[in-house]
Amino acid sequence: MTLDLSGLDEATLAEWLAEQRWFGAKSRELAQVHVLDVVVLRDDPALGLAIAVVEARFPGGTHELYQLPLAVRPADESWDTAVVQRLDGATVYDALADPEAAGILAGMLRDRAVVGEDPRVEFHWVDAVLPPADEPVVRPMGAEQSNSSVVIDDALVMKAFRRLEPGENPELEMTRFLSARGFPHIAELGGWYQYGGEIMEATFGVVQRFVEGGRDGWELVLDDLLRDPDGLLPQLAALGVVVARMHNVLASDMNDPAFAPEEPTDEALAIMTATIDEQIERLFVDLPEDDERLSAIAGRGEEARDRLRLVSHMGGAGRLIRHHGDFHLGQTLRVADGDAGPSWIILDFEGEPARALLDRRRKRSPLRDVAGLLRSLAYAASAARLQRGFEPPADWEERARAAFLDDYLAEIEPSLMPPTPSATRTLLSVLELEKAVYELRYELDHRPDWVPIPAAAIARLLEEPIA
């Protein structure tokens, strides 16, 4: 039997796609789904394997591209997990839900396979990392928002990027750069696989070392806020050092155009401020009237935009570099202490999923990552009240911010910061404002009970003295 997926019913495929947790457009009407390309990786009547690139089309002409790793078994095997659809004599299903099928992918990575010509899928492996076993043991990683991951041999994690865009995914680009320079606070890159065809060149997935025994930073902070809030402070200080060292490494290669630090031109600052200005204007135009939760910021849109204009008068913003792009406590793991004290791993370098890949690869101030972490601390303090039912110490957030920020600023390369402490505070305040504006729009749409958290942040930032 030759593996043939030309009979896939696109209407049925659209129904299946819309139900997947990782499908990123659930709030939009899905008009059509088209199969654009299929690369057959294994043509075997017992278990076939292919990767399809499909286009999800929406009313108005917009579209998104998705990767579907598909396995095919004979229909008489009664396979009923993650079924996409049943064809004559065969069951087509999500390959990553099948340890055997996912193990075949792992073997192709180990063997550095190249399948097809146009289209093609290329598998790569890094010599310094032990590859998957000849018969790898694979298990699912668990539910994820935008991607799918499996654990291989309890030593590696393979992550498949579901939504595709032309170009190299920042997760691959960033982890390869940091791994090559021996940065110890990430899950080291082991391999990757990529697609090439008439449609585009794109990263399909990556493999990284599996970090065993780490505690999710968000859960750690919520747990320890109840048990030992003061004990969190040295851990957050250590995280500040790790983040600064990561930024220093990301700024260390002047010969790599994708990573070489850049001086902030007037044009770059203008683009940054214009983007944030648009977000502020849109938020305040759409703010609900007579909402008591928003009383502290109602009618203050122009005041927020005035704060933004301060950036153009700072006398410099520090060099621009590649950065994490979606940094918060949930992107960290607290691992066993080393000789130097608390140790952290930083995860998920894709950037904000809602942003275009080109935008996620753009160089910005590293303080953007700092702003994300500081906002995450504010959310943790509020989540303690909303989710756990206890009140953190009144000054805990302020002390936590200081613990992280002071050690970060002591470790960071000075040329990456604005020229003066007051300019650094100004830029950080503006970047926090950007995050809080994004958060408020999200909470208004999805979690009304959480609206007071970003609203309070915006009010606080507007009250801070202007340097």
Q: Mind listing the pLDDT tens digit for each residue in 64-118?
A: 999 999 999 998 888 889 999 998 889 999 999 999 999 999 999 999 999 998 8
- Cβ atoms of 185 and 208 within 8 Å: the answer is no
Q: What is the DSSP letter of 345?
A: E
Task: Return the percent helix, strand and coil in the chain, to nearest 5.
Answer: 40, 25, 35
Mean pLDDT confidence for 224-229: 93
**Cross-strand pairs, 91:** 73, 86
3-state secondary structure of 384: helix
The Cα–Cα gap between 139 and 441 comes to: 37
Whether residue 340 is predicted with pLDDT greater than 60 in this model: the reply is no
Q: Are 136 and 106 within 8 A, CB to CB? A: yes
Least confident of 178-187, 201-210, 340-349: 340-349
Band of pLDDT at residue 288, cut at 50, 70 and 90: confident
Phi, psi of 71 (to 5 degrees): -110, 150
What pLDDT, in 10s, does the model give residues 366-392? 999 999 999 999 999 999 988 888 899
Question: In the predicted model, is pLDDT for residue 316 greater than 80?
Answer: no
- Specify the DSSP class assigned to residue 321: B
Residue 364 confidence (pLDDT): 93
Q: Is the pLDDT of residue 467 over 70?
A: no
Quickly state the pLDDT bin for 270 (edges 50, 70, 90).
confident
Q: What is the pLDDT of residue 143?
A: 64
Taking 60 as the threshold, does the pLDDT of residue 311 lie above it? yes
Confidence of residue 1 (pLDDT cuts 50, 70, 90): very low
pLDDT value of position 354: 79
Give me the mean pLDDT over the 432-461 stretch: 91
Strand spans (E) along 45-183 = 48-57, 63-74, 83-87, 90-94, 114-116, 120-125, 138-140, 147-152, 156-161, 163-164
- Range from 47-56, 350-359, 456-465 that averages highest in pLDDT: 47-56
Q: Which pLDDT belongs to residue 4?
A: 84
Q: Which contacts qualify for 458-466: CB closer than 8 Å, 24 or more apart? A: 458/296, 458/297, 458/300, 458/304, 458/433, 459/296, 459/297, 461/307, 461/429, 461/432, 461/433, 461/436, 462/297, 462/300, 462/303, 462/304, 462/307, 464/429, 466/307, 466/310, 466/426
Q: Where are the alpha helices (DSSP H) in 70-191?
A: 99-110, 170-180
**From CA 72, how far away is CA 43, in angstroms rounded?**
9
In the numeric block, which tokens belong to residue 147? 């991607």
Lowest-pLDDT range, 5-9, 121-125, 147-151?
Answer: 5-9
Q: 0.85 cut: is pTM over it?
A: yes
Reference 342, options 199, 236, 450; nearest CA is 236
Query: Which class is 215-463 in CATH?
Result: alpha beta
Q: Looking at residues 417-446, what average pLDDT do you find?
A: 92
Q: Are 402 and 237 in contact (CB under 8 A)?
A: no
pLDDT of residue 2: 66
- Interatomic CA distance for residues 259 and 364, integer angstroms: 11
The domain limits of the chain are: 10-17+29-209, 215-463
